[in-house]
Amino acid sequence: MKKILLILCFATIGVFGVYAQKTEKKIPDTHSTCNEQRYRRTEIILPQVNGYNCYKADLHVHTIYSDGDVTPRQRVHEAWYDGLDIIAITDHLESRKYEKFMLKAHAPYNPDGKAYKYHHAGSVRLMKDGTDAGIRCDFNATFAEAENYLKTTGFPLLLIKGSEISRNPFEMGHFNALFLKDVNAIYNIDAKETLRNVHKQGGLVIHNHPGYRRNTTDKSEWQAEVYAEKLFDGVEIVNGTKFYPKMIRRCVEENLFMIGATDTHRPTSGQFKDFGFFRTMTIIFAKENTEETIKEALLQRRTIAYSGGELMGEEKWLTDFIKAAVVCKDMGVSKKKGSTYHKYALINKSSISYSLRWGKAVSCKLDPFESVVVEMLEKDGVKRGPSFTVENMWHIDYQHPQVTFPISK
């Protein structure tokens, strides 16, 4: 009997032992939360316009190598994930705000408590008395860092070498130099000479934020001379969220291309997307995304600016753009209380919203990748075509373009 009890006892222990082994939880060393932690690019879908692709560009941004808060590699990273195809990093040519902090941080540590010593590489800020401090650091380094990072990522982004020439904002202003070969070689204490140096390298010059610390109505004497000498190729009609409507007339009259750019100094996250918009950008109409084709498109003034859901530029490009983005179908006629209405379906095949108006009290917002049916009242027996005022588009003299959509079968 004792023997049997003993066997039963061991058997029970054995069974529980196996059970305990089976239910023991394996605890991993690391548990990764959020399996889908990959970065997501915002895809901005825009139409083909007159046989050209729409490339999205930000041609004015800063990094820690002047007075921006992020590195060149971060500018490349965010440009790609913000949905851009082209970026120009344009650090200030005359000042490097963070230089002294960087040098201080990289100074040797003295454990004996002595004050750190660092060699000042030489700020290139123009002296107040007009003395020329000259170039003492490599302004091509920013581009090189961004380019190296771009190669490691493989992003099909076009990176343009640039710089912002930043002079007295009241008399002269700030100017972006793009498509440079050697940023160091453009510097001259005489601002006009600097602009000429940009052209000598085959670069283009943009008159930046023309409303910064002065109004855009009149040119200063210095600016009048520079415009007359044709040292500007384009104008930044939108800087961040500031649109300068009067500059459109100047661009049209003087054959200058128009751009919209962020001029961002901080990370773009939290600035634009968080308010429901894409970052401020220039839409460039070109066949391919290469330095030559983009430069040619700018010189031919095939651009429109985008900022905060609004589009600005030449009337022709605005109307051609929306006609390519929106498909219009005839939906027949309806009769209500003795009135005749012509119905049209509007299908938005782009990532941009359009605010359409066709009467004092009748308007509609056509959101991305949605369609709406609008009813247009017949007047005096005449059929109303699908004609609208596009209220989130602006062309010369602060006017909205009028568009009549072709009927698609």
Q: Which residues bind Zn ion (CB under 5 A)?
A: 164, 174, 263
Q: Which is nearer to Zn ion, 47 or 162 (CB)?
A: 162
- Residue whose CB is less far from Zn ion, 93 or 356: 93
- Six-digit token string for 45: 């879908």
Q: Are strands 303-307 and 281-286 parallel, antiparallel or unpaired?
A: antiparallel
CB of 164 to Zn ion, least distance (A): 5
Q: Find the shortest distance in angstroms from Cβ 138 to Zn ion.
A: 20
- Least distance between Zn ion and beta carbon 100 (Å): 20
Taking the complex as a whole, the smallest distance from the CB of residue 275 to Zn ion amounts, in Å, to 21
Instruction: Residue 147: name the closest of 55, 90, 72 by CA.
Output: 72
Q: Of the two residues 145 and 236, which places its CB atom closer to Zn ion in the complex?
A: 236
Q: Residue 59 CB, nearest distance to Zn ion (Å)?
A: 11
Calculate the CA dihedral of residues 40, 74, 313, 238 and round it to 10 degrees: 130
Residue sitting closest to Zn ion (CB): 174
Tokens of 164: 């912002």
Between 263 and 320, whose beta carbon lies closer to Zn ion? 263
DSSP class of residue 50? T
Q: Angle, nearest 10°, between helix axes 221-228 and 191-200? A: 20
Minimum CB separation of residue 400 from Zn ion in Å reads 29
| Alpha-carbon dihedral 248, 254, 256, 259, rounded to 10 degrees | -20
- Among residues 166 and 350, whose Cβ is nearest to Zn ion? 166
Residues 233, 250: contact at Cβ < 8 Å? no
Three-state DSSP at 387 gives: strand
Gap between the Cα atoms of 230 and 37, Å rounded: 50
Q: Are 174 and 205 in contact (CB under 8 A)?
A: no
What's the closest the beta carbon of residue 263 comes to Zn ion, in angstroms? 4
Name the residue nearer to Zn ion (CB basis): 75 or 342. Answer: 75
Least Å distance, CB 392 to Zn ion, is: 26
The residue whose two tokens read 């490339």 is: 55
For Zn ion, the closer of residues 289 and 307 by Cβ is: 307
Measured from the CB atom, the residue of 67 and 391 that comes closer to Zn ion is 67
User: Which is closer to Zn ion, CB of 94 or CB of 164?
Assistant: 164
**Any residues with CB less than 8 A from the CB of 103 and at least 6 apart, and which?**
118, 119, 120, 121
Distance of alpha carbon 364 from alpha carbon 387, whole angstroms: 13
d(CA 301, CA 284): 9
Q: For the chain, first and last CA: distance in Å?
A: 97
- The total number of residues shown for the chain amounts to 409
- The residue written with tokens 């069974």 in the block is 15
We find the least distance from the C-beta atom of residue 159 to Zn ion, in angstroms, to be 17
What are the distances in angstroms from CA 380 to CA 305, 339, 363? Answer: 39, 10, 21
Query: What is the phi/psi pair of residue 286, to 5°?
Result: -150, 160
